[in-house]
Amino acid sequence: MEFIKEFSAFLHQKEIIKFGDFTLASGKKSSYYVDLRLVPSYPHQFRIMIKNLQN
């Protein structure tokens, strides 16, 4: 659970998660967008994310 809080804060601080009105590639509407293409730019957090997703 701690990972989720820390990773959420990281996404917000680095503006990887954005809030607003977005139209996704599928055409669906969303009130938020997570640009995961940016995460590998932060290798330490990227490794932590991969480790936690594997568990």
Query: Which pair of tokens denotes residue 31?
Result: 């009130």
> Rounded mean pLDDT of 40-55?
90
- Confidence label for 21 from pLDDT (cuts 50, 70 and 90): very high
- Confidence label for 54 from pLDDT (cuts 50, 70 and 90): confident
Structural contact between residues 30 and 22, judged by C-beta atoms closer than 8 angstroms: yes
> Rounded mean pLDDT of 9-29?
95
Give the H/E segment covering residue 6.
helix 2-13
Structural contact between residues 42 and 14, judged by C-beta atoms closer than 8 angstroms: yes
> Rounded mean pLDDT of 7-33?
95
Averaged pLDDT score across all residues of the chain = 93
pLDDT at 55 over 80: no
Domain of residue 24, residue span: 2-54
Number of domains making up the chain? 1
